[in-house]
Amino acid sequence: MHHSTLLALFTSLTAVLAHPGPRPGGKRPHNHAVNAPTKCPIVFDGRIKSTAELSEFDSYGTSIFNPDYVKGQNLKWSQILKFPTDAGNSRFDNETHKPFEVTLSDQSIFQTQKGFRRAGLQFQGDTNTGSPGSTGVKTLHFSVKLDPARPLNLSHEYLNVWHEASDYSANQFNFETGTILGQTGLPKDTWKILNRQNKQIWSTPIDKAAWQNFAITIDYSKNTLQVYYSKGDDPLKSVTSAVSNNNAGAGQYQIGMLKKPTGTSDVVNSGYQSSRLNEGLIYGGLFLEDSAGGCVSL
Ligand SMILES: *[C@@H]1O[C@H](CO)[C@@H](O)[C@H](O)[C@H]1NC(C)=O
Ligand SMILES: *[C@@H]1O[C@H](CO)[C@@H](O)[C@H](O)[C@H]1NC(C)=O
């Protein structure tokens, strides 16, 4: 082949690579080509296959989560979860995954907890005691996005992601938003990470349109928490040092929504919740990885 022909071929190839054009299957809204691979062993994978159907979440044989908890008895997960079609994929979801939305309605009452409205996913295999999720060093990854059709009411306190000790006496950490009861000095329109004493260790403003990506490294031996964060497709960055926290007591992760009432000191059982609730939060890139040796997917 003549030298100039080779050069022309090389030039056009470079142009093609620099401008890859639409992907097969057409343009996906708000999505970008950059989806990050994970790099550490995955302990629990909460990423939803793009082929998944809602009915899979109703039984042990097909769900990656616990199909029976933590939700209103009269609701099935296939009624609680939605697959948003216009949210795009978050950083750690690739084309084999899709986001999911956890919703709240008036029926989101777990057992006799009439004060709360809640729907929380637990990873199947994350047992209350003896779980691999509660030993060593683990990093929980999750990305969240608001659904404009199912807005949250930030006059309330929402727990969205946490790890609850096996005796239910405390949560080792909480990822929350809204008005934290008893801490009204904190702005309501932020995502907040609170330690076991419910003291805020980091927060960031809610972005109404973008995916916001979080990771929390829980060192169960050294008793520390470290927070990582990014927006959109950006790589995660460490936003706190490894801060001291009591991570004892084993327990389980929970991912979803727990909306506390207002106007009561007994939040579990009483207080005010507006009726005809239709609220939701979109999740993606949910997984727990093994961070032994300092490994964290960024
Ligand atoms: C997508 O992520 C899965 C992990 O769930 C991985 O096995 C697969 O190789 C990834 N696919 C691409 C195209 O990167
Ligand atoms: C938000 O919550 C507050 C406190 O419960 C309530 O007074 C208000 O009506 C709610 N707003 C909406 C839009 O539901």
pLDDT digits (tens, 9 = 90+) for 228-272: 999 999 999 999 999 999 999 999 999 999 999 999 999 999 999
Residue 27 has pLDDT above 70, yes or no: no
Q: What's the number of CA atoms in the CB half-sphere (13 Å) around residue 168?
A: 1
Cα gap 280→175, rounded to integer Å: 16
74-102: average pLDDT: 97
Distance 274 CA to ligand 2 centre (A): 6
Domain formed by 38-292, architecture: Sandwich (2.60)
Average pLDDT, integer, range 155-167: 98
Helices (H), 59-200: 77-80
Asked if the model's pLDDT at residue 9 lies above 90, the reply is: no
Is residue 170 a contact partner of residue 196, using CB atoms and an 8 Å limit?
A: yes
- Give the confidence band of 18 by pLDDT, cuts at 50, 70, 90: very low
Best residue for ligand 2 mutational test, from 155, 157, 264 (most atoms within 8 Å of Cβ): 155
The 10s digit of each residue's pLDDT in 166-209 is: 999 999 999 999 999 999 899 999 999 999 999 999 999 999 99
- What are the two backbone dihedrals, phi and then psi, of residue 14, each rounded to the nearest 5 degrees? -60, -40
Indicate if the pLDDT at residue 134 is higher than 70.
yes
Question: For residue range 35-81, what is the model confidence (pLDDT) as tens digits?
Answer: 899 999 999 999 999 999 999 999 999 999 999 999 999 999 999 99
Of 94, 286, 297, best ligand 1 pocket probe by most atoms within 8 Å of the beta carbon: 94
pLDDT band at 11 (very low <50, low <70, confident <90, very high): very low
Q: Does residue 12 register a pLDDT over 80?
A: no
Nearest-CA residue for atom 12 of ligand 1: 94
Query: How far apart are the CA of 114 and the centre of ligand 2, in A?
Result: 17
pLDDT at 34: 63
Mutation probe of ligand 2 site: the residue of 153, 157, 179 with most atoms within 8 A of C-beta: 153
| Contact 35 CB / ligand 1 (< 6 Å) | no
pLDDT at 13: 42
pLDDT tens-digit series, residues 274-288: 999 999 999 999 999
Q: Which ligand has its closest atom nearest to the C-alpha of 33?
A: 1
Single-letter amino acid, residue 58: D
pLDDT at residue 184, rounded to an integer: 86
End-to-end CA distance of the chain: 44
Query: Which residues have C-beta within 8 Å of that of residue 229, sequence separation ≥ 6?
Result: 202, 204, 212, 213, 214, 215, 236, 237, 239
- Global pTM value: 0.89
Q: Is 182 exposed, middle or buried (0-12, 13-18, 19+ CB in 10 A)?
A: exposed
| Ligand 1 atom index nearest CA of 47 | 5
Confidence of residue 292 (pLDDT cuts 50, 70, 90): very high
Q: What pLDDT is stored for residue 35 in this prediction?
A: 84
CA distance 224 to 173: 10
Per-domain residue ranges of the chain = 38-292
